[in-house]
Amino acid sequence: MAQVVEHVGLERLLTAKGIAFDRGELRGYASDASFLTLGVPSLLVFPKDEAECVALVDLAVKQGVPIVPRGTGSSTAGQALAPPNAVLVDMERVGACDARGHRRGLFVPQVVDPKGGPIDLKKAAPEDELYIRVGAGRTSDETNRALKPFKWSVAVTPSSGYSTFGGNFATNARGSGTPAYGPFGEAVSRIRIVASSEEGARVLEVTDRAEIHRLAGHHGLCGLVTELDVRIAPILRPEEQLCAILMIEMADVEVLGARIGELMKRVAASCRYYAGEFLFIDEGILRPDDPVRKDPILGLYFQANPDAKRMVLLYRGRREAMATLPEIAAVIPDVYYREITFPQFQTMMRVRTAATGKSYQRTNVPGCEDFIVRDPAMFGKVLAAMFRVLQGAEGRPVGHHYPDGVVVHFRPQAKVARGSITEAWGLNLRLREAVLRPEFAVEDRVEHGLGLRLFRDSTPGRREELRRLKATYDPANVMCPHLLDPQDVSFVGSQFLV
């Protein structure tokens, strides 16, 4: 690994301004959830509010020091990695702590209308377009706890509900609610961002929705986002929603995928849904003593057949908007349909969320995480290519059905041993080679962002747009400059002492 650069002058200035930092043992910050690394950052800074973010950016510009924002480090494409000459900025406390810097998980929600006017949530109607004003360090999980007494929730919630809103915006994340409200950036009406100038820091408030959409997915390239207005949605009553589970089981995975692809196309054309999820069932997906196995209804879906592939789909939406779902399922051969309760849906979603990493004495190695099949008609061919590579491997594909395509995730399960982890990483590379092919029209990392491959894998039009945004918001070029000039990365698992 490259040598860590010492920023002694910057440390003195941070100390003088009372901004917390760490320059000790930082090897734990050499990677995020991607298993990639650029090396160990030279310094880790913990701003507690926007004012400290301004002071930090001001110092970075004047000292010529590159900075990289980080949320909870759940990124799977290297978005939160800093090279050895850079300062990693932990944004978890920003907008989520008290004046002394202590994080506070419980808070009273501040709700506004699309123009930023204050709203009394107790008097709001379900059809109102409302936003919660939150700090970038807040998460969906804690925000939903604050909204639950009012019977509202965050409209777009990624599977990792512990990721920060700043991180969700930086990657333009998707999740539950995306089929109805779009990716995360489309569910934001206002941001505050600490940008740079040639002289120092400046705070900008962006309310133009088109510009917010362009900034979504900026990966920290443009500044430190400190506050956002995030769309919220009413929690549906049980009688207002339809939750359904669909299952198909076949020996031929290509035929299975083709039939489910046809179902998905029909669903996207005639239903408006909040969540569409799928997972493949195998013996390792649940522990033998998991209570779900004994559930009189759900347990039946986890009776894996070693001679066939079993796929389960989950849909949730307003009942009137999902009226055609039973009819669609009835005309697709070999698909079994059942309506379930919302608590049962939540139980299945917990299994779905854990499905990429649930195995005994194993660790999950991110890699083919994620890709999108734009045309569901190609889903069968993509699945066939995947399972040819996955023969004998532990783990299973899971994913989402969005109106614009099918997002697929796979994380191999590796024993906690250096050789096994390295082998799992190799499997990821082979899997990517098998599915990211022109004939499949598959795109890479639409859901979690391109990370370190932001410029390499973006379209020419998006690259030009990012250059314009960079020049507008960060003319001093202190925000993640390594993303403009990608450096060689390595697999951090090759350095594990296990």
CATH code for the domain of 348: 3.40.462.20
Same domain assignment for residues 127 and 208 = yes
Who has greater pLDDT, 100 or 156?
Answer: 156
Averaged pLDDT, 272-286: 93
What is residue 2's predicted lDDT score, i.e. its pLDDT? 45
> Using 50, 70 and 90 to split pLDDT, how confident is the model at 422?
confident
What is residue 363's predicted lDDT score, i.e. its pLDDT? 54
Around Cβ 400, how many Cβ atoms within 10 Å? Answer: 24
| Each residue's pLDDT tens digit, 319-367 | 999 999 999 999 999 999 999 999 999 999 999 888 776 444 455 566 6
Who has greater pLDDT, 421 or 407?
Answer: 407
CATH number (domain holding residue 125): 3.30.465.10
Who has greater pLDDT, 8 or 164?
Answer: 164
Same domain assignment for residues 347 and 482 = no
Query: Which stretches within 278-395 are classed as H helix?
Result: 325-331, 342-354, 379-389
What is residue 207's predicted lDDT score, i.e. its pLDDT? 98
459 within domain boundaries: no
What is residue 486's predicted lDDT score, i.e. its pLDDT? 66
Same domain assignment for residues 156 and 185 = yes
Around Cβ 448, how many Cβ atoms within 10 Å? Answer: 26
What is residue 22's predicted lDDT score, i.e. its pLDDT? 92
Percent residues over pLDDT 70 in the chain: 95
307 within domain boundaries: yes
What is residue 358's predicted lDDT score, i.e. its pLDDT? 45
Same domain assignment for residues 296 and 186 = no
Same domain assignment for residues 264 and 281 = yes
What is residue 497's predicted lDDT score, i.e. its pLDDT? 53
268 within domain boundaries: yes
Same domain assignment for residues 170 and 29 = no
Domain range enclosing 151: 111-234
18 within domain boundaries: yes
What is residue 1's predicted lDDT score, i.e. its pLDDT? 42
Averaged pLDDT, 154-161: 91
Which pTM value belongs to this model?
Answer: 0.92
* Number of domains making up the chain: 3
CATH number (domain holding residue 75): 3.30.43.10
Domain boundary among 211, 234, 257: 234
Percent residues over pLDDT 90 in the chain: 70
Same domain assignment for residues 371 and 310 = yes
Q: How far is CA 109 from CA 59, 106, 149, 192, in A?
A: 33, 9, 11, 18
**What residues contact 468, with CB distance under 8 A and at least 6 apart?**
none
Same domain assignment for residues 223 and 248 = no
460 within domain boundaries: no
Q: Is 203 helix (H, G, I), strand (E, B) or coil?
A: strand
**What letter does residue 447 receive in the DSSP assignment?**
T
CA atoms within 13 A on the CB side of 202: 13
For residue 370, is the peptide bond before it cis, meaning its omega torsion is within 30 degrees of 0?
Answer: yes
Same domain assignment for residues 255 and 228 = no
What is residue 5's predicted lDDT score, i.e. its pLDDT? 58
**What letter does residue 346 receive in the DSSP assignment?**
H
First to last CA, the chain: 18
Q: For residues 154 and 140, give the distance between their C-alpha atoms in angstroms, rounded to a whole number.
A: 7
Same domain assignment for residues 242 and 277 = yes
Most confident of 73-77, 320-324, 410-414: 320-324
Q: 20: which 2 tokens?
A: 């917390």
Same domain assignment for residues 121 and 17 = no
Same domain assignment for residues 309 and 386 = yes
What is residue 164's predicted lDDT score, i.e. its pLDDT? 96
User: In the predicted model, is pLDDT for residue 141 greater than 90?
Assistant: yes
103 within domain boundaries: no
User: In the predicted model, is pLDDT for residue 435 greater than 50?
Assistant: yes
Averaged pLDDT, 257-280: 97
449 within domain boundaries: no
Domain boundary among 182, 211, 234: 234
Q: Is the dihedral of CA 461, 463, 464, 468 positive or negative?
A: positive
450 within domain boundaries: no
